[in-house]
Amino acid sequence: MELEDLPVADLIKIINEEDERVLKAVRSQSRAIESAIDLYVRTLKAGGKVVYFGAGTSGRIAFMDAVELYPTFGVGREAVIPLIAGGLDALRNAVEGAEDNISNADQDFLSVNPSSGHLFIGLSATGRTPYVVEILNKAKGVRAKTVAITSTKGSPVTQIADVCIVLDVGEEIIKGSTRLKAGTAEKMVLNSISTISMIKLGKTERGLMKSMVPLNSKLRERAISIVSDLANCSREEAESALLTNGWKIQKAIDFVKGRDAGQN
């Protein structure tokens, strides 16, 4: 029976079973992911930039991870930079031929003021996306550290990068549709790399986001809870300290603790 003839319930089961392979593929790359985290942490500690780049789904996943780091962990937008073939328009629309445009890859590479102190993380499910291959080669040319995340063993990106994370997710149920398991695997890997790096950079305390930037009412409520927990004070005291300190969580914590120390 062809895929198109199957009932919806069977198709859901097939996709769920295929997705189980993603976890195994990611788990098998723990050592390579650890190496990538080490480079990530060392780069940011030294004042360098981390640059994610990809085309299509991979580029969108790169953007998704990068843009969340500022509100979640207070990482400056100039510290972790996402690039996507075709530019910002490619986040909403398929930009035909963008991944093959080497000239644009060169321009995007230069836009981040590349140096040997940067870390470049390229995402390409096939491992041969010209945009990604070109930027990896350019990064090697300035002696920057490089990481490749791919689903294809022995592909061109694995021949270039210092650290290769190869995610063997198997063939997609719709052949060639790398937005499926390959995309899920890429997101899982970036979740691990960025989150663990932020933990090791001191952006959390007791599992709480003490470096979060409260940009909306939901996050401000969360900030109040974080200050209350970490400074061991009431929510009212926490909110007052946050207002006094421009909603900067660590400053508010220090403010409350300093005030309490002065009263003892």
Asked whether residue 189 falls in the same domain as residue 235, the answer is no
Q: Which domain, by its residues, includes 116?
A: 3-200
Q: Full-prediction pTM beyond 0.85?
A: yes
The Cα–Cα gap between 148 and 165 comes to: 6
Average the pLDDT over 14-27 and give the result.
93
The Cα–Cα gap between 124 and 84 comes to: 11
Domain count, the chain: 2
- First and final CA of the chain: distance in angstroms? 77
The Cα–Cα gap between 112 and 248 comes to: 28
Asked whether residue 91 falls in the same domain as residue 65, the answer is yes
3 state DSSP class of 179: coil
Residue 34's pLDDT is 98
Residue 77 lies in a domain: yes
Residue 208 lies in a domain: no
Active site annotation includes 17: no
Final residue belonging to a domain, choices 200, 226, 247: 200
Residue 209 lies in a domain: no
Indicate whether 185 pLDDT > 80.
Answer: yes
The Cα–Cα gap between 154 and 141 comes to: 21
The Cα–Cα gap between 157 and 147 comes to: 9
Sign, CA dihedral 149-152-157-162, equals positive
pLDDT tens, position by position, 216-263? 999 999 999 999 999 999 999 999 999 999 999 999 999 999 865 555
Find the catalytic residue in 2, 20, 34, 68: 68
Final residue belonging to a domain, choices 172, 200, 228: 200
**DSSP tally for the chain: helices H, then strands E:** 10, 5
Asked whether residue 82 falls in the same domain as residue 114, the answer is yes
Residue 173's pLDDT is 84
Find the catalytic residue in 20, 99, 221, 236: 99
CA separation (Å) from 188 to 163, 245, 249?
A: 17, 35, 28
At residue 39, φ and ψ (nearest 5 deg) are -65, -40
Residue 212 lies in a domain: no
Residue 210 lies in a domain: no
Residue 125 lies in a domain: yes
Asked whether residue 142 falls in the same domain as residue 222, the answer is no
Asked whether residue 180 falls in the same domain as residue 248, the answer is no
Asked whether residue 30 falls in the same domain as residue 144, the answer is yes
Active site annotation includes 134: no
